[in-house]
Amino acid sequence: MIDASSGLITVGFTLGMVHALDADHVMAVSAMSNDRPGMLRTIGYCANWALGHGGVLMVSGLLLFGFGVGIPGSFAQLAELFVGAFLIVMGILCFWRFRRERIRLTEHRHGEVVHRHWQVEGSAHAGEARDHRGSDRVTRHTPVMVGVMHGLAGSAPALALIPVVVHGELLTALAYLALFSLGVMLAMLVFGLGFGVTQRFLQQRYLWIFNAFRNTVAAASILLGGYWITQAL
């Protein structure tokens, strides 16, 4: 028999899906993917971000409901400031990378069939592979760190409902947070898939729209980051 507490816990999954689509979450993942587009890379960013976000929520819940230790408000505010600063830095880095890129007409031959398409590549092509290998090592951990900061910044609203739901039971609280985090990951993966497919389609079919799209995302990241900082102060 499913009691009212169990029913409310399952609501955490839906709340997690809604929470994942907050403007700062979506913009952070979009800005990271905007810097180096790629469908699989975008999905990887989303998964790693969700792991960081969910991991810190589980730890926060364990500390709060297991040991009575909460996250200080000043620390959550610092996390909010970090999120805003990150969005601004990512937007600036995107514009910087755009200036290094150039567009060239590429020709491919398959037997007697020849087709041409526009391709974006780095202007410093000789060092591009080394640069990508180095940046891959960095970006592998960046989404997790950003997810952790988002989890710290948004932990208070996520944890506030738990006492009403779990009635002081630690395992029930952790189950609620686990379902909440699962909902966050699922929604973020769906968003990442859609964003990655859109990027790939525009890059292959409408390169000028793709470039305008990337510039728009970069500008939006800077603007939202500035707004986030003003709200956190």
> Looking at the domain assignment, is residue 122 inside a domain?
no
pLDDT of 218 reads: 95
**Is 140 in a helix, a strand, or coil?**
coil
pLDDT of 191 reads: 95
> Looking at the domain assignment, is residue 178 inside a domain?
yes
> Looking at the domain assignment, is residue 184 inside a domain?
yes
pLDDT of 30 reads: 94
Higher pLDDT, 83 or 154: 83
HSE (CB half, 13 Å, CA atoms) of 143? 29
Residue 129 has pLDDT above 50, yes or no: no
| Whole-number average pLDDT of the chain | 79
> Looking at the domain assignment, is residue 84 inside a domain?
yes
Residue 65 has pLDDT above 50, yes or no: yes
| Per-residue pLDDT tens over the stretch 168-210 | 677 877 888 888 999 999 999 999 999 999 998 998 888 889 9
Residue 61 has pLDDT above 90, yes or no: no
Give the pLDDT band of residue 156 (cuts 50, 70, 90).
Answer: low
Range of the structural domain that residue 204 is part of:
4-100+127-232
Residue 25 has pLDDT above 50, yes or no: yes
> Looking at the domain assignment, is residue 221 inside a domain?
yes
113-122 and 101-110 as β-strands: parallel, antiparallel, unpaired? antiparallel
* Alpha-carbon gap, residue 90 to 49, rounded angstroms: 15
pLDDT of 203 reads: 85
> Looking at the domain assignment, is residue 119 inside a domain?
no
pLDDT of 120 reads: 53
pLDDT of 11 reads: 79
Whether 144 contacts 54, CB under 8 Å = no
> Looking at the domain assignment, is residue 112 inside a domain?
no
| Per-residue pLDDT tens over the stretch 73-90 | 777 788 889 999 999 999
* Alpha-carbon gap, residue 216 to 198, rounded angstroms: 14
pLDDT of 204 reads: 86
pLDDT of 136 reads: 52
How is 58-96 classified by DSSP, letter by letter? Answer: HHHHHHHHHH-----HHHHHHHHHHHHHHHHHHHHHHHH
* Alpha-carbon gap, residue 158 to 124, rounded angstroms: 45
How many structural domains is the chain composed of? 1
User: Most confidently modeled of 61-75, 131-145, 191-205?
Assistant: 191-205
Higher pLDDT, 102 or 61: 61
Residue with token string 């007409």: 105
